[in-house]
A and B are shown apart, each in its own frame.
Chain A
Amino acid sequence: MVSLFTIFNRNDPTPTARSLRNVKWDCAKVIILDMEHFLPKHINNLKRLVAWTSGSARHYSNNIDDQWPDHLWQDEWDWTPLNHNKLGFVQAKYIGDNVLEGVENGDYIDITSGSKAQTGAIIKAVKSRGIDVNFVLQTRAGETLNLSTGEITSNSSLDLTLKESIWLSSGYLASFGVKGDPANGEIWIAAKKVQESGKTRPDEKVSSALGLKRNINLETGFWLEHASAHILSTWPSISEVFIGVRLIKPSFSKVAGAANFAILSKPWMKNEFDNKFMNWWKDDEKLTSKENSEARAIFYCEWVDYLRDGNISEKAKQYFIESVHSVEFDFIAKDSESMTVIIGECKDKEKVTEGEVGRIHSLSKMVFPTTGHPLMVYSGRKSKLVNGVYTIAWPDLKDPNIMMKTIQEEPAVTLEEEEIKVPKKSKEKVSPNEEQLEILKESLLLIKFDPRSYNPQFIELLRKTEFGTTTGLLSWLEKNLADKMEFTVDRKSLKTTKWISWKNNAIPEGKESTSFQGDEIKKLLEKIVELLEDIKS
C-alpha cells in the first residue's frame, strides 16, 4: 500500500492537485500548514481544492440557495473524482511528527507545494526517521520528477484537464463548445488562401474538404475561431483546445441574476420564460432606495426559486444555460509543455484596434493571472507583437513556433503608430436614451449583487447588450446616476470589483456573503472539514 504526502499550496491549489492526480497512490494525505494565518484567498483556494477532489464544483457553496438544482446542472462541468475513502487532510502549525504519521519505506512525498523551508523540514523529518521514501516534484513540463533517482515520468495522459485547471486557478466552471481537431487543422492549413480587401480568407472549397453540407459563412467571424482552434490543435505542445469557451460562476443565485439580464436583452429567449420575470426592473419612485433594493432582492429570490422548481421547458433550460456565463473566450488552449493556458480572441479584420488587444490582455490576466497568455488571431497579413499581445495572421498558425519567431523577427508594434494611417473619427461620448438607461441601471444593480470590475467585466456586460459607445461613461455615471442609486466610484480600482461602493448594500436574509474575519475563518474551516466528511460519506 503506497501513500502520498503532499503540502497544500495556499496561493494556488493547482500544484497540490497535480501531485494528487499524477502520483499513483493507494492513500493520500494533504498537509495544511499554518492554517491560523490563512487569508480569505487561501481559504477559497482550499475550498476549491476540496471541491475538486470530489469531481465536481456542484456542492462548492455551503449556502443551500447557491447550490445548483439537478435539472440545470450539466454533467460536462464535472471531472474525474479522487478516491475519497483513501484521502485525508491533516492540519499542523509546522512540520512535526503528526504530519508524517504512517509514512513508510517506498511512500511518495511530493514537494512541489510548500515553501523551501517547509520542504527542507519535511526532508529532514523523514531522514531522521531513517525511512527511504521517494521525493517527487511536478515539473512545469508536465512530468513527475523523482528527486531521489532522477527518473522522469510523463503525465501526459493523467494530468489535469483544461476544465480542472480553470476551476483550480480561477474558480470558474467551464463550458466548452467544439473541440479542436488536428485532422480538421490540417485541412485548414492546406486550404487555398485568397486575399479580399486586405483580409486573408479561406477558399470556399474548404467547406467540402471539412465535410460540411453548407458553405462556411464568411460574413460572420465564426469561421476564424474554428480555423484557429483546429490549426492550434496540430501543435505538439497543445493537449486540448476548445472553441467558444464560457466561464461560469459556481454560485447558482449569482448566475441566475446574470442570466436574467442576458435573457432580457434577447427577445427570442424571453418568450420561453414566465412573463413576470421578463421586464427590465423599474425603480419605484415612491419607495426609498433601501426599499427598492430590498424589493429587487425579493424579485431575484423569486426568479431563483422559479428556476429551481424545474417547471420550465427544455428550451428555457437550454436558453438559461446559454446565458449563465460571466466571461466568454473565442478559444482556449492548454499547452502541456509549459503548463500555460492560451486565451484566444479572433478578429476577421485587416487591422486590430488598441481596445481589442487590451481587452483580451486584461481578460486573460484576470482569469489566469500567472499562467494565461493572450493570443489575438486576425485575418490581416502580418504576424506581430502588438502592445505586448501576440497578434497572428491566421495562416501563420500552421507553425508551432510562430510566437517565438514573431518576437525574434518582427519589431514590436504599438497600435497608435498603425492608427495614424487610418483617419481617426472623433470619439462619440455616451449619452444614454431611455432603453440604454434601463440597461445601465439593470447592469449596475446586477453587479451590486454579483460584483465585477469596471473594465473589462462591466464594459463586457454592456457590450453584450449592444449598448453602444462607453466613452465617457464613468463620468456620466458619476454625474447622473451616482446620487440617485447611491453609489460612489473609485477610479483607482477600475480593474477590481471595488471600483463601485454602495451606500445601501441591503442583501436579503440568508443571502449574506461570508465575511472572512476572525472567528468566521474558523467557522469556515469547520465547514470545509464537514464538507469533506459529507463527500467521504
Chain B
Amino acid sequence: MLKMVISTMGDSVSPSLSLLVSNVSTSITFFYTSENIKNAESLQYFCQQRFPETLVHFLELPSIAMPGEIVKYAKEFMSGKNEKVGIFLTSGAKQTIFPFLINSTTSTTVSLVHSPLRIVVDEFPLPSKTVYVELSLQDLLASRGWEISEEDGKTLRRGDLVISGVSALFDKERGLLIFMGQSYLLKTGKEDEIHSLSRSMKNQVKEKDQITISNLTLLSEFFGRNGANYVISGALRSPNRSVLPHFIENKLVESSLQEEE
C-alpha cells in the first residue's frame, strides 16, 4: 500500500471515486484549480460521509489559466517529499498532473484502466499491482452532490435542482457514466409523423425537446462535457437537431426518420 497518492480533479467522476474505492492508499490528496472548486466541495462532503476512515486532503492549485504557476506549485510541493508518492495520472488536465511527476524523484504512477475497471499501481522494477474496482451509480452521482429520487427512480435531484425525464446509467465495464433522455417524438410514439405535424404540435415538440437538451446541458456543468456521455434517443426536429451541442449525441432508434431540407 502506498503511503500517499496525489491526484488532480478533472471533469470525470469515475477516476476519483475508483481511487477512493481501491484502497491503494489510506492518504489521498486531491488538487483542484479554482475553476473546479464546486466539484471539490461536493467530493469533500461525499468523502466525509462515505470514506470516513480514509485521510483525504483537498488543496487548491492556481487557476488553469496560469499553468506556469501550477508548475512552480507542484515543484515546491514535491521538493520536500522523500517517501514514495503515487501520482494518479488518469484524472485532470496534463498541465496540472504531470508537473508533479516530472518534478519528483521518488514517485510512482497510478492509473485507472477500463474493461474491466481497475486501478494499476506501477511498482517498477516489481510487477504492477492491480486492484479491481466496482462503483455504484449512486456513489458516482453523490460525489457531485446528486441523487436519484427514491419515489420513481427516474428523477435526479441536487438540493433544489430537480431533473426529470433523464435517466442516469453506469457502464461498469468501461467506467462510463451516461445521461440519457428521449426525444418527445419517440416518447409519444409519433416519430413516423415527423413530416406531417401540425404547427402547434411542432411548437410543442420543439419546446419539450429544448427542455431535455437544457437538462442534459445542466448536468454537463456538474459532470463535465467529457466526463460523461450525454444522449438523446429518438428523432429530433430542426432547429433543435441542427444546433445540438457537440457533446450531446442524438441516437436514432430503428424507426427514426430524419426530416429532409
Contact = CB atoms under 8 A, between A and B. Distances in A.
A137 B95 contact: yes
A256 to B, nearest CB: 28
B98 A135 contact: yes
Given A120-B111, A362-B242, A145 B95 contact: yes
A354 B239 contact: yes
Contacts of A141: 65
Interface in A146-161: 146-152
A119 B96 CA distance: 13
Interface in B210-261: 210, 238-239, 242-243, 245-246, 252, 256-258, 260-261
A494 B71 contact: no
B127 to A, nearest CB: 15
Interface string A450-490: 00001100010000000000111111000000000000000
Given A135-B102, A148-B102, A150-B71, A491 B258 contact: yes
Given A111-B98, A119-B98, A369 B260 contact: no
B260 A459 contact: no
Contacts of A389: 243
A487 to B, nearest CB: 15
Nearest to A148: B102
Contact of B101 (A123, A145, A475): A123
Contact of A146 (B65, B71, B257): B71
Interface in A340-355: 354-355
A116 B90 contact: yes
A120 B101 contact: yes
B157 interface: no
B260 A354 contact: no
A415 interface: yes
Interface string B112-142: 0000000000101000000000000000000
Interface residues of A, number: 49
Contacts of B246: 365, 369-370
Given A123-B102, A139-B95, A354-B238, A152 B67 contact: yes
Contacts of A151: 68
A147 B95 contact: yes
Contacts, number: 109
B89 interface: yes
A494 B258 contact: yes
Category for how many chain B residues contact A = 35 or more
Contact of A139 (B67, B103, B111, B242): B67
Contacts of B97: 116
Contacts of A388: 243, 245
A416 B197 CA distance: 15
Nearest to B207: A414
A358 interface: yes
Contacts of B239: 354, 357-358, 387, 414-416
A120 B94 contact: no
B251 to A, nearest CB: 11
Contacts of A358: 238-239, 242-243
Among B98, B210, B242, which residue has the most Cβ atoms of chain A within 10 A?
B242
B175 to A, nearest CB: 15
Contacts of A414: 206, 210, 239
A147 B98 contact: yes
Contacts of B167: none
Contacts of B260: 472-475, 491, 494
Given A120-B109, A369-B246, A416-B206, A145 B71 contact: yes
Nearest to B113: A117
Interface string A270-296: 000000000000000000000000000
A522 interface: no
A527 interface: no
Contact of A492 (B102, B238, B258): B258
B90 A387 contact: no
A361 interface: yes
Contacts of A494: 258, 260-261
B104 to A, nearest CB: 9
Contacts of A205: none
Among A117, A120, A145, A416, which residue has the most Cβ atoms of chain B within 10 A?
A120
Contact of B94 (A116, A415, A492): A116
A120 B94 CA distance: 10
A266 interface: no
B149 interface: no
Nearest to B98: A147
B171 interface: no
Given A124-B122, A145-B67, A150-B71, 19 more contacts: A111-B94, A119-B94, A120-B89, A120-B101, A137-B67, A137-B98, A143-B67, A147-B98, A148-B71, A150-B70, A358-B238, A361-B242, A362-B242, A365-B246, A369-B246, A387-B239, A388-B243, A492-B252, A494-B260
22 contacts: A111-B94, A116-B97, A117-B89, A123-B101, A123-B102, A124-B122, A124-B124, A135-B98, A148-B71, A150-B68, A150-B99, A355-B261, A357-B239, A387-B242, A414-B206, A414-B210, A455-B261, A473-B260, A491-B258, A491-B260, A494-B258, A494-B261
Lowest 8 A-B CB distances belong to which pairs? A150-B71, A388-B243, A474-B260, A150-B68, A358-B242, A150-B72, A387-B239, A152-B68
